[in-house]
Structure 1
């Protein structure tokens, strides 16, 4: 039990720790929690493209069935947001997904999704963690049944209907998109949705490979070189590039002029696009660009800042009826959809937005109007059991200035965010998924961001 802990987005661990007996304990804990809460409906179980994921999903299904729950098991590896949508759409008791998202193939993980399809908040994951136990089956006559289900079709229908409600008829005919699935569960799902909308697709890494080609299915620029080279090659290249992470809840966008498009800039462009036909606030995490705030202000809207973790974004979306919510790591959702980040829906929305006005042109216009914004981050190794101490010790080490600029304010919503006199900022916070501390910085140019990140590293490393 000591090895099972729920972080920012469920429990993830290497396969040395992520074992069948422990997965069964999580399944029993969820079954007990749902029973205690009086939730007796079916439970969805999904899984990603890792070699071990189908087997772990079947273990969960057996434990849930032995506790009297019917289980809707994905017919193949599918993106996490498809399972989240199915839970809300079908009024299920909840769901579980076996996934380690963007982590390397030697990892796996499990996340619980409540009945509203939004990420579980800490009171729920704590309640589950407190119920970890060996499976306790009911008499066989009281067992539930397992039904294999295609989660892709209903989600695609909903995505098309939602985007059509925003943009009118969705017709991507004569549009060319390059899609990189990174061998993850977006293959056959994201590309199929784009093709259904009329786009011509050039697919990269859309073949099954549980080892993800020997790397991690993390859609960072350094892992998307082939996609970037393809989209930026010449005038005959695909006009837009899209990639998903391992479980396709996040999106990366590649444009002809910029290559890899910073997720912060995509968020700003997306919000600006949505505000052309709708209204409402945005929700962003503490690590996400203030450019969102500038876009909001120009439209007479507001922004709600939350700690890192999409569960907090989802909660704020519900509280404020937000038009859009997102984070700098590429997770987004919009009003009218399930409150879970969805890289499949966002792929369609990105293509439709690009068809209306090239994303590069929209970003150029926003930066000309609101000023240049550059953001980057680094990681500092830190064991999980040392993170709390380091962040606590950091409080006494906060300087009066960083890289020659005075600290005007300190935001403690998630770690320490130092707001500087020149409008730049530096953030230090513990990762919820990896044994590292994250150091983020935002400023007007890359040189200044580099200075701030170096100052952040120098501030944190002596404390680890």
Structure 2
């Protein structure tokens, strides 16, 4: 029980810790929580493409059914956002997703999604942790059923309606006709889902790594620049307007373009928010680690920006409160108004292709830089044991300087760690990682050279305190 902890996005661990008995304890905890909350609707359980995930999903299904809940499973691994949509579309009590997302194959994990389809907030996950226990089945006559259903078609229909409307088309139109997209599933659960959705909208799809492999083809399913060199080369030398990759459970995406190659997620966020504002209005929600370019675009359209701590659960909460047009974070997770408040790399792939159909993303980013000034961002990690993070942050509060890299400090924001705003509009952020034993140091400025100077200053500030 002590080994189970729901962090930023559920519980993840290596397979020597992530075992069937512990997974069954999570299933019992969720059943107890849902019963306490008065839920009696069915529960969905989905899973990613890892070799062990189907078995763990079946363990969860059996425990939930033995507690009286009907359970819905997909016929094969399916992305996390399809689970979130299914929960809302079918008015379910909630759902469990077996996934370790972008982690390598020796990991697995599980997360709970409540009945609103948005990430569970801490008060929910803390109560689930308090309910951890060995399975406590009802008499067999009171058990629920386990049924396999389709998770794909309803989500695809909704995504096509939503994005076609943004593109000024109807779902029946091939609004991506003439667009070629290179798609890299990274051997994850986006295969036969994201690529199929793009084709339904009329795109020609050039597929990479769209087969299921237990080792993800030898590369963790993390759509980072270093892992997408083949996709970037395919786009650079071929006919594709853009390349798209999903992480292991397809709740996040990365984009590559013909000119820039890997498109920084901050710039992708800015480009898509700008595209949405051409036909709609509304504020944006971003995390403290996400670019101020979003703020400049919003200001030009007389819109607001809501800043949250890192973690899509906080973005989702703020999106609901503000009726935001778009919300996202620099790690590649985004959602838009009219959809569930869960990051969705499948829907955003379709939206990215629609935006590129209207204006190439490289051209849009160039225009945004011309209008609002160039922005660069990068981050580094400083090793720090989890049990030392709170102490280091306490010590950092007493060491905050009045100047950083030769520039005066204008303000310090403390929503998540310490974000030091400088007079020029550049900033430096130090915060604890929610998933690794490190402190993250981020910097944003007008040039790569200035970003490097700020990161060096950030490392010099934080490292001596560890």
Measured against the shorter chain, the TM-score band is over 0.9
Deviations 1:49-72 (A, max 9, x none): 111111111110011001000000
Q: Distance in 1 between matches of 2:387 and 2:109?
A: 19
Q: Is the 8 A contact 1:367 1:373 kept in 2?
A: yes
Deviations 1:287-315 (A, max 9, x none): 00000000000001110000000000000
Question: Which residue of 2 is the match for residue 332 of structure 1?
Answer: 334
Q: Is the 8 A contact 1:105 1:215 kept in 2?
A: no
Q: Quote how far apart the aligned CAs of 1:214 are.
A: 2.0
Q: Distance in 2 between matches of 1:441 and 1:262?
A: 14
Please point out which of 394, 397, 410 is paired with 2:396. Answer: 394
Please point out which of 252, 260, 263 is paired with 1:261. Answer: 263
Q: Distance in 2 between matches of 1:385 and 1:28?
A: 29
Q: Does 1:228 align with 2:232?
A: yes
Q: In the TM superposition, what are the counterparts of 1:79-98 in structure 2 within 5 Å?
A: 79-98=79-98
Question: Which residue of 1 is the match for residue 277 of structure 2?
Answer: 275
Q: Is the 8 A contact 1:46 1:96 kept in 2?
A: yes
List 4+ stretches of structure 1 deviating above 6 A.
none
Q: Quote how far apart the aligned CAs of 1:150 are.
A: 1.5
Q: Does 1:113 align with 2:113?
A: yes
Please point out which of 198, 204, 215 is paired with 1:200. Answer: 204
TM-score using structure 2 length: 0.98
Q: In the TM superposition, what are the counterparts of 1:141-156 in structure 2 within 5 Å?
A: 141-156=141-156
Q: Does 1:22 align with 2:26?
A: no
Q: Distance in 1 between matches of 2:47 and 2:290?
A: 29
Q: Quote how far apart the aligned CAs of 1:192 are.
A: 0.5
Q: Does 1:74 align with 2:74?
A: yes
Q: Is the 8 A contact 1:282 1:322 kept in 2?
A: yes
Q: Distance in 2 between matches of 1:381 and 1:55?
A: 35
Q: Is the 8 A contact 1:8 1:432 kept in 2?
A: yes
Q: Does 1:44 align with 2:41?
A: no
Q: Quote how far apart the aligned CAs of 1:87 are.
A: 0.3
SS of alignment partner, residue 248 of structure 2: coil
SS of alignment partner, residue 72 of structure 1: strand
Q: Distance in 2 between matches of 1:55 and 1:321?
A: 39
Q: Quote how far apart the aligned CAs of 1:436 are.
A: 1.6
Q: Could you tell which deviates more after superposition, 430-439 or 218-227?
A: 430-439
Q: Distance in 2 between matches of 1:332 and 1:428?
A: 23
Q: In the TM superposition, what are the counterparts of 1:35-434 in structure 2 within 5 Å?
A: 35-169=35-169, 170-233=174-237, 236-434=238-436
Alpha-carbon RMSD:
1.0
Q: Could you tell which deviates more after superposition, 390-399 or 352-361?
A: 390-399
Gaps of 5+ in 1: none
Question: Which residue of 1 is the match for residue 32 of structure 2?
Answer: 32
Q: Quote how far apart the aligned CAs of 1:383 are.
A: 2.1
Q: Distance in 2 between matches of 1:390 and 1:50?
A: 36
Q: Distance in 2 between matches of 1:83 and 1:328?
A: 23
Q: Is the 8 A contact 2:164 2:175 kept in 1?
A: no
Q: Quote how far apart the aligned CAs of 1:215 are.
A: 2.3
Q: Is the 8 A contact 2:73 2:147 kept in 1?
A: yes
Q: Quote how far apart the aligned CAs of 1:323 are.
A: 0.5
Q: Quote how far apart the aligned CAs of 1:257 are.
A: 1.0
Deviations 1:21-77 (A, max 9, x none): 111111100000000000011000000111111111111001100100000012111
Q: Distance in 2 between matches of 1:453 and 1:102?
A: 25
Q: Quote how far apart the aligned CAs of 1:437 are.
A: 1.4
Q: Quote how far apart the aligned CAs of 1:237 are.
A: 2.7
Q: Quote how far apart the aligned CAs of 1:269 are.
A: 0.8
Deviations 1:163-205 (A, max 9, x none): 1222122521221110011111001100010011111111111
Q: Could you tell which deviates more after superposition, 343-352 or 398-407?
A: 398-407
Q: Could you tell which deviates more after superposition, 379-388 or 301-310?
A: 379-388
TM-score using structure 1 length: 0.98
